[in-house]
Chain A
Amino acid sequence: MRRVPLWVVAPVVALAAGALMASPVSADGGPHRYTATPSATTDGCASCHRLHTAQGSHLLKDIEPMLCLSCHGQDAEGANNDVEDGIGYISYGNPSGKYDPHRTGNGGTYGTTGKGGTYVAGAPIGALRSGGFSYALIGSALATGQQATPDLQESLNTGNIPVLPLPTATGDLNTSMLVPVTSSHAVGGTDTTAWGNGTSGYGSTIQLRCSSCHDPHGNGNYRILRPIPVQSGASTGVTIADETTDSGFSKAYITTNYWDIQPYELKMTSATTWTYQKPVAAQSFIPNISAWCTTCHTRFMAASGSGEVSTGDATYTYLHKSDGTTQGSANCIQCHVAHGSNASMGTGTQSSQVTLPDGTAGDSYLLRIDQRGICEMCHKR
């Protein structure tokens, strides 16, 4: 019998071994990260993939977004962020480690010292900075259109944080908290317009899914964002460093951090008291966030002064500055959320009539504040 030469066998064996050994496993609290050391086990892969019986592209066991929502849905059975409701589950880091009755139910006052106030809910939850796809908890009425409170920004600076009204004690169910979104990124895979994408027209037609923007395997980026979103047409990727959390602090996704880009963080000072404090370090995602958003919304990127100089584009002719790379300067997420907003345009005579670039009826455009209250956030007059 003829022997197979070693130079043929060796690469085949090496490839087979590599395929078996280079399998990612669960790490860092979920299936989204590879471990540094390859492992022979494949538990993490099997959570989402099937090699021969996949029902979704990329050999996914099921299609998006339902597969993603099996952990990140409104039941939050497998994750600390519920992207349907726009809720993040946080840890107080209770030093005593004891059950505290003030946390049960909603509307409990949890401490009165320091800069603390009334927490929006007694449970360890808060609003996701991105909003949600079905509901959101954005305090969008805190600066209501033309009636924006001039001192609101000041109050943020001093740490006297306003909060949403507490649920009333009447009725079995209270719907004043979870508010249906008025606009959201359409992640169901249907045709949608990436406004400003491309070099002409209103924008390209794309099919958006969770994995269009997020890399489920993890990549070290802030929110595991893909450097080049799927179907963006971009050729150069944008890297956004993940944010850091100061030692001893937990991320406090309170409603007000929606329009304060540098969020307050929550620190327990005892079993029953807490304080908010701005993190020492500036948030790492700010410098590159506009560059990332405009990998899709290409023609929305604009430098200071673009409101006075024509771009020559038939639709996007004059533009508000959006290239801010420092704390407090104008960038995309200073005004918009990424997933969905509950901001209301309905009562504004002018705001409710703003249409989409193609002239069709508009919505809240992922804005954080009711009507055009977002203008007042910077242009207080």
Chain B
Amino acid sequence: MSEPSPTTHHRLKLSVAAGVTLLVVAFGAVVGLYVSRREPLSALLPSFSQIKTPHYLFSVNGPKRPLGIAVNSSGDRLYVTQSDGDRTVLAFDRLGNQVAVLKPPAKTGDMHVPVYVAVNPVTQDVYVSDRMAASIYIYSSSGTYRQTFAPQGNLGVDWSPMGLAFDSHGNLYVTNVAGTAPDQSGPHQRVFEFAPDGKLTRTLGEGSKLNFPNGIAVDSSGNVYVSDSNNSRLLVFTPNGSIAGSISGGQGDSNLALPRGVALDNSGRLYVVDITANMVKMYHSLNGSLVLAYTGSFGSQGSDDGAFEFPNGIAVDTHARIYVADRDNNRVQVWSY
């Protein structure tokens, strides 16, 4: 067998050197990406053809009985309401480091409990509902109090805001849980839509006998998803106000018991937190309709990683991360695909 010529030998050495260089560069890129994101390199959201269940990543410990949760458009700020302790809203970065505390205005005094929170996608302002103070407080993205939201128009009932959501144009949707009608005829609870200037533009659910509607989300077509908590159901309102979809209560896997937080991801997948089932249930629409098909759930009762004790709020960012306010475990759980 003849030995390789000097030219061939040289080519071989060059090839090996190039391969090693490529490996080093690739390894450096992976390490760099990992260090910058400090999380498993999750894939983008799975398509609906992939029936995939999220997995637990880590928890942000510390919030006192967290209820509501929201994440900004870029996914680098997380806002969590605390219903215990000093009852403020905490802001965290993507790694779970606390970066700000959002306090109510001084005149609020001690009578306040922040419940739900949402981020205006147009201004990045943070809106916090406080049923006890009958207010929605508006903060800058860095946590500075700006003003109290003043709804304009005839609401028809007392102002008692709970769930918050925005559409892509910055219109604000609020679930209102005012107790009873002036004539004591029963619950008069409904959903309001406000234009960015605060004007009431639409009322949903007037004939639906909503009973403590909590979570709310709006999809890109303007359909509004509302957890009608004490009726153990979720309703989907179309832009014209009719009900085109629902998830009913009951004991089946796909049924709801006491639904609270609601979120939609970029793929249109719907997440509903069932507080007394201690899990998050997932659904997606069938063939473009608003008929919702159950695709699975995650979570169980307990205090271990991935287990919940009365979870309430939920938020999904654009990087396939799912945040759940794990109320009685005093933490926020982070899940991903």
Contacts and interface: CB of A to CB of B under 8 A. Distances in A.
A358 B150 CA distance: 56
Interface string A42-75: 1111111011000100000110001100110111
A107 B107 contact: yes
B219 interface: no
A106 B107 contact: yes
Query: Size range of the interface on A?
Result: 35 or more
A46 B134 contact: no
B180 A91 contact: yes
A125 interface: yes
A42 B131 contact: no
A185 to B, nearest CB: 20
Contact of B103 (A30, A82, A97, A173): A173
B250 A42 contact: yes
B159 A99 contact: yes
A101 B278 CA distance: 38
Contacts of A171: 106
Interface stretch (B32-40, B54-62, B253-261): B253-261
Contacts of A87: 132
Contact of A62 (B108, B178, B301): B301
Contacts of A329: none
A267 to B, nearest CB: 11
B158 interface: yes
Interface in A80-113: 80, 82, 85, 87, 89-101, 103-107
A105 B184 contact: no
A282 B179 CA distance: 24
Nearest to A108: B107
B110 A77 contact: no
Given A26-B230, A73-B83, A99-B155, A91 B106 contact: no
Contacts of B184: 93, 245, 247
A26 B187 contact: no
B110 A177 contact: yes
Contacts of B111: 106, 121, 123, 125, 167, 177-178
Given A29-B186, A101-B150, A125 B132 contact: yes
Interface in A125-153: 125
Contacts of B276: 47-48, 61-62, 67, 70
A94 B212 contact: no
B86 A62 contact: no
B265 interface: no
Contacts of B133: 104-106, 122-123
A259 to B, nearest CB: 21
Given A77-B260, A94-B182, A122 B251 contact: no
Contacts, number: 208
B336 interface: no
A50 B251 contact: yes
Interface string A238-263: 00000001010010000000000000
B110 A174 contact: yes
A78 interface: yes
Interface of A: 26, 29-31, 41-48, 50-51, 55, 61-62, 66-67, 70-71, 73-80, 82, 85, 87, 89-101, 103-107, 121-125, 166-178, 245, 247, 250, 268
B162 A169 contact: no
A148 to B, nearest CB: 26
Given A61-B277, A104-B134, A175 B110 contact: yes
16 contacts: A42-B249, A43-B233, A48-B257, A67-B276, A75-B67, A75-B115, A80-B179, A99-B150, A104-B133, A104-B148, A104-B150, A122-B134, A123-B132, A124-B158, A169-B107, A177-B111
B238 interface: no
Contacts of B141: none
B187 A29 contact: yes
Interface in B101-157: 103-111, 113, 115, 131-135, 148, 150-157
A122 B251 CA distance: 41
A31 B230 contact: yes
Interface string B64-97: 0101000000000000000110101000000000
B333 interface: no
A97 B155 contact: yes
| Most central of B104, B113, B182, B276 by chain A CB within 10 Å | B276
B312 interface: yes
A345 to B, nearest CB: 22
Given A107-B107, A123-B134, A77 B162 contact: yes
Contacts of B159: 99-100, 103-104
B323 interface: no
Contacts of B232: 26, 43-44, 46-47
A55 B131 contact: no
A92 to B, nearest CB: 6
Contact of A26 (B83, B115, B211, B256): B211
Nearest to B162: A77
Nearest to B151: A99
Contact of A77 (B103, B109, B182, B212): B212
Contacts of A178: 110-111
Given A29-B186, A167-B110, A97 B258 contact: no
B285 interface: no
Contacts of B180: 29, 91, 93, 250
Given A26-B232, A77-B229, 8 more contacts: A29-B230, A74-B84, A77-B162, A78-B229, A104-B148, A121-B109, A173-B104, A268-B182
Nearest to B277: A61
B160 interface: yes
Contact of B310 (A70, A80, A124): A70
Given A29-B187, A61-B257, A170 B106 contact: yes
A166 B41 CA distance: 53
A98 B153 CA distance: 7
A66 B106 CA distance: 31
B231 interface: yes
B297 interface: no
A367 B190 CA distance: 40
Nearest to B255: A46
A366 B35 CA distance: 56
B102 to A, nearest CB: 10
A61 B275 CA distance: 10
Interface string B224-247: 000001111100000000000000
A81 to B, nearest CB: 10
A107 B105 CA distance: 13
